[in-house]
A = this chain, B = another copy of it.
């Protein structure tokens, strides 16, 4: 799509989101410059990795004077594509779904959750953290009407694949999947899995070994 984008290493991109957050807080304190070692401390990595990452997004610091916070913010936001907003829906308004709705309502700039869906009658037509929950029957209609491109799946495992198929058929091209299954979808759909189980097992594995 954009030349610059393609060149950014995946891992760097993941960290970039974190950097944006750090810089927002840092700037809120009225600070205007920051050194790579300060940022590394805040981000939990090394100064030299910070500098590489900043290079990737076209941030130039100046020797001895560090990096200009505002310029970095602008660059990072431009790299992450903050100029365009992506319409998003969430399906499955259980505890997890609700938690995520409250998360997104005020924290993710470029992603707008336009609607939520569920099958349970008692959830339908309620508004959670500013997002209305609709009957899942209306899903395809709303996706089309509002040009929704991203979907968040927070339904039980058994229902995830069928739901994902429906989302893709309706035109969704990016999915955040919280169900513990591997979704089998066409190549043009970008899927990320949030595997809570995996993370906790990883901690169980590595903790107490250092």
Contacts and interface: CB of A to CB of B under 8 A. Distances in A.
A7 interface: no
Interface string A72-97: 00000000110000101000001110
Interface of A: 1, 5, 13-14, 17-18, 21-22, 41-44, 80-81, 86, 88, 94-96, 98-100, 102-104, 107-108, 110-111, 149-150, 152, 173-176, 180, 182-184, 187-190, 192, 194-210
A57 to B, nearest CB: 12
Q: Count identical subunits in the complex.
A: 2
Nearest to A95: B99
B174 A204 contact: yes
B107 A180 contact: yes
A70 to B, nearest CB: 20
Contacts of A192: 199-200, 202-203
B95 A200 contact: no
A206 B81 CA distance: 10
Closest 3 CB pairs between A and B?
A174-B207, A96-B99, A95-B99
Contacts of A195: 17-18
A103 B14 contact: no
Contacts of A203: 150, 174-176, 190, 192
